[in-house]
C-alpha cells in the first residue's frame, strides 16, 4: 500500500533555493515531486514555511542521560527527542575519548537502536582517543594515545556499519591507519589536534574532508604558523563544524570563519546534559555546561544555532539554514538523500514560521 502525503507551503527551502507557493508530494516517506500548489486540489496539510530537517553530527546526551554513561536504546530515544525539538531529525550520537569497553557498549546501543527501527540515527561519532594530548581539552589524558593498525582494525570491525565518523589528530595517526579507516567508509574529521598548517593541508589533500568544532581544541591561526584553523580557511575542499553559542567561539570569530569558508562551514550543537556520573561530569550554568569550572559543552539546539547565526553573527537567513541541513549532509556525504528537499530524498521536514520561532517536525 502506498502512503501518500502532500504538504503545501507559502515558502519552501529546498536546501539550495526558495520556492513560493509550492507543494511536496511524498510517497512512503520519499519525495516524489515538488510542484506548484495550484496544480494540487487536496493537501494533507498546509504550512507557512517548510525546511529540510536539520542534522546534528555531534552531541553527547539529553535529559540527564549522557550516552557514554547510559549506552542504551532509551538514551538514543531521548537524544532524538531533544534533537527534534530543535529541528534536527537526523543525529550522530558522540562518544568522547573513553575505554574500549565503553566505546563498544555505545556501538552495541546504536546497532540495537537501528535494528529496533529507531529513527534518525546516522551512526556513531567516535571522538578520540586517537588525538593530541596537548589539545585534548576535557578528554581523559591517560586514555589518549596513537593507534596501532591492529587496534584500528579491531575497532572498525566491531563497529562495522555503525561507526560513521571518527575525530582524530593526523599527527598521531599513520598514513596506514588513515587509509584503513577510509576503506571502511568512515568519515574522518580532524580535531583535538596540534597539527601544523602543513600537516593539516596534507591530511585534507589525502581526502579527509572536515574538521571538528573549528577553533576549539586545535592549532590556531598564528602569523608564522597558520595551524589547522588557517588550513581550514584556505583549503577549498575542507569543511568544518562550529559551535555557535558565543561561549565556545566568540560570535565575531564565527563571522570571520563564515566569511572565509562560506558553505564549507556547518553547525553542530556539541550539546551535553546534566550529569555527575562517569568520566565527564557536566553542570549547567545558564546556557552552557561546565565541569570543575571549565567549559565542557553546550545547551544548544540546532534551531537555536541557526538563530544565533542570524541574530548574533549577522548571517543571511538562507546561509544560516544551509549550515544546519545541506552543510552537515555534505560533510558526511549523504546530501543525495538528506539535508535537502528534492526528488528521491527522504521526506523529513520542519514546518516553521517566517522568524523560525515555531518548530513542527513532519
Residues recognised as catalytic: 270
What are the CA-CA distances from residue 141 to residues 126, 338, 341 (Å)? Answer: 16, 36, 43
Q: What is the DSSP letter of 193?
A: B
**Helices 197-205 and 227-234: angle between axes, nearest 10 degrees:** 40
Can you tell me which residue has the cell 571522538? Answer: 127
- 239-243 and 265-268 beta bridge pairing: parallel
Give the count of beta carbons closer than 10 Å to the beta carbon of residue 16: 12
Torsion of CA 69, 72, 77, 80, to 10 degrees: 50
Q: Coil, strand, or helix at residue 79?
A: helix
Q: What is the 3-state secondary structure (H, E, C) of 52-66?
A: ECEEEEEECEECCEE
Amino acid at each position: 500500500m502506498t502512503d501518500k502525503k502532500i504538504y503545501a507551503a507559502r515558502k519552501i527551502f529546498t536546501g539550495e533555493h526558495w520556492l513560493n507557493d509550492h507543494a511536496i508530494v511524498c510517497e512512503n516517506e520519499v519525495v516524489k515531486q515538488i510542484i506548484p500548489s495550484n496544480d494540487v486540489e487536496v493537501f494533507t496539510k498546509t504550512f507557512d514555511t517548510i525546511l529540510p530537517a536539520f542534522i546534528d553530527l555531534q552531541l553527547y546526551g539529553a535529559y540527564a542521560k549522557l550516552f557514554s554513561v547510559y549506552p542504551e536504546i532509551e538514551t538514543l530515544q531521548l537524544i532524538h527527542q531533544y534533537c527534534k525539538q530543535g529541528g534536527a531529525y537526523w543525529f550522530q550520537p558522540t562518544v568522547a575519548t573513553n575505554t574500549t569497553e565503553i566505546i563498544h557498549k555505545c556501538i552495541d546501543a546504536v546497532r540495537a537502536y537501528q535494528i529496533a527501527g529507531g529513527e534518525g540515527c546516522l551512526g556513531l561519532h567516535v571522538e578520540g582517543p586517537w588525538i593530541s594530548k596537548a589539545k585534548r581539552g576535557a578528554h581523559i589524558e591517560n586514555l589518549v594515545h596513537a593507534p596501532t593498525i591492529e587496534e584500528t582494525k579491531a575497532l572498525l570491525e566491531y563497529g562495522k556499519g555503525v561507526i560513521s565518523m571518527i575525530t582524530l589528530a593526523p599527527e598521531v595517526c599513520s598514513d596506514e591507519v588513515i587509509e584503513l579507516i577510509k576503506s571502511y567508509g568512515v568519515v574522518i574529521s580532524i580535531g583535538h589536534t596540534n597539527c601544523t598548517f602543513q600537516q593539516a593541508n596534507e591530511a585534507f589533500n589525502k581526502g579527509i574532508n572536515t574538521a571538528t568544532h573549528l577553533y576549539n581544541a586545535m592549532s590556531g591561526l598564528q602569523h608564522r604558523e597558520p595551524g589547522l584553523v588557517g588550513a581550514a580557511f584556505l583549503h577549498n575542499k575542507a569543511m568544518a563544524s562550529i559551535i555557535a553559542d558565543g561561549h565556545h567561539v566568540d560570535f565575531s570569530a564565527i563571522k570571520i570563519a563564515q566569511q572565509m569558508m562560506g558553505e564549507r562551514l556547518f553547525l553542530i550543537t556539541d550539546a551535553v546534559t546534566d550529569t555527575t556520573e562517569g568520566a565527564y561530569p557536566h553542570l549547567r550554568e545558564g546556557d552552557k555546561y561546565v565541569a570543575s569550572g571549565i567549559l565542557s559543552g553546550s545547551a544548544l539546539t540546532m534551531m537555536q544555532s541557526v538563530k544565533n547565526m542570524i541574530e548574533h553573527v549577522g548571517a543571511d537567513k538562507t546561509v544560516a539554514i544551509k549550515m544546519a541541513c545541506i552543510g552537515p549532509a555534505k560533510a558526511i556525504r549523504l546530501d543525495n538523500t538528506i539535508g535537502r528537499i528534492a526528488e528521491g530524498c527522504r521526506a523529513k521536514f520542519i514546518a516553521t514560521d517566517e522568524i523560525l520561532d515555531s518548530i513542527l517536525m513532519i
